[in-house]
Structure 1
Amino acid sequence: MSAKDFRNPLKRARGLGSSQSGVGHWWTQRMTAAALVVLTIWLAVTVLGLLHADYATARAAIAKPWNAVLLVAFVITAFWHAVLGLQVVIEDYVHTRWKEVTSIAVIKFLAVLCALAGVLAVLRIALGA
C-alpha cells in the first residue's frame, strides 16, 4: 500500500473538478433565464404592437427610453445566457482540454462582439444617429 492510499478522500478529490463556482454558474444561468422570460414577453408584445407600423413609428418606439433600455437588457441577457449554456455543453462533451478552452474562448469572444453590435444598433436608433 502506498502513502497516497492513506490520504483523506477529500484530499484526493481536491483539484479534480470545479469547486466553488458551480453554484454561482447555475444560479446565474437560472436568473438570466428568468429575466429572458420577462424580456421576451415584453419584446413579443412590443413587436406585435408594431406589426403594421411604418419605419418611422417603429424607430420612434425603439427610441423611447424604456424600450431602448429593455432592448439593450434583452440583447445582453440573451448573449450572456447563451454563453453560460454553451459553456456547460462544451465542458460536458469536449474532453480534449485545448479544444475545450479554445471553444469557450471563441464563444465568449463572438458573444461579446455580437452583444456589442446589438447594443450599438439600439443606441444608434435611440440616440437618432
Structure 2
Amino acid sequence: MNAQSKPHVSVMRSQLSRARGLGAGGSGVTHWWVERMTAIALVPLSGWFVLQIFRLAGAEHAKVVEWGGKPVNATLLIALLVLTFHHMQLGLEVIIDDYVHGKAHLPVRLLMKGATFALGLFAVIAVLRLMLAATRQNNAA
C-alpha cells in the first residue's frame, strides 16, 4: 500500500474529549451565579420597597423627601437600584449573546452596557439628590 491509500487519523480523541474543550471555560458559571445572587438579594429589597410605597401612598411630598433622606432608606434604595440595574444588564447580556451575531454583537453589547450604566447612574444620583433635598428641608425647619 502506498501512503495515499492509507486512512489518516489526525487526532485520536473521543467525542467527549473534544466536547470538553468547548464552552465558556468556567466564565459562564460565574455569570450564572452572579445573576442568581442578584436575584436572591433583590427579593427582600423589592419586598421592603413595595411595603414602603404602600406606607407612603398618599403622603405629601415633604414626607416622602423626609423618608428618602434617612440614611437607612437611602442606602437600601441605592442597593436596590444598583442590584436591579446589574441584574438587568446580566439578563440582557445573555439575550444579546443568544440572538445577536456577527459584526453587530460587540456594538450592541457595548451599547446595552453603556445605557444600563447611564440609567443606573441617573437613578443613584436621583436618590442622592433626594437626600440633599431632605437635608435642606431639615435645615430650613
Fold conserved between structures, TM > 0.5 = yes
Mapped to 2, the partners of 1:83 and 1:121 lie a distance apart of: 20
- Structure 1: 5+ residue stretches without partners: none
CA-atom RMSD, angstroms?
1.8
For the pair 1:125 / 2:130, whether they are aligned, the reply is yes
Greater shift, 99-108 or 71-80, is seen at 99-108
Mapped to 2, the partners of 1:50 and 1:23 lie a distance apart of: 40
Q: TM-score, normalised by structure 2?
A: 0.81
Deviation for aligned residue 1:17: 3.1
Question: What amino acid is aligned across from residue 61 of structure 1 in structure 2?
Answer: W
Percent identical pairs in the alignment equals: 37
Question: What amino acid is aligned across from residue 56 of structure 1 in structure 2?
Answer: A
Q: Which has the larger radius of gyration?
A: 2
Mapped to 1, the partners of 2:85 and 2:112 lie a distance apart of: 10
Mapped to 1, the partners of 2:114 and 2:50 lie a distance apart of: 28
Q: TM-score, normalised by structure 1?
A: 0.88
Task: Identify the match of residue 87 of structure 2 among 81, 87, 91.
Answer: 81
Mapped to 2, the partners of 1:108 and 1:31 lie a distance apart of: 19
Paired residue for 1:100? 105
Deviation for aligned residue 1:79: 0.6
- Structure 2: 5+ residue stretches without partners: 1-7, 137-141
Mapped to 2, the partners of 1:119 and 1:83 lie a distance apart of: 16
Paired residue for 2:44? 38
Deviation for aligned residue 1:62: 0.6
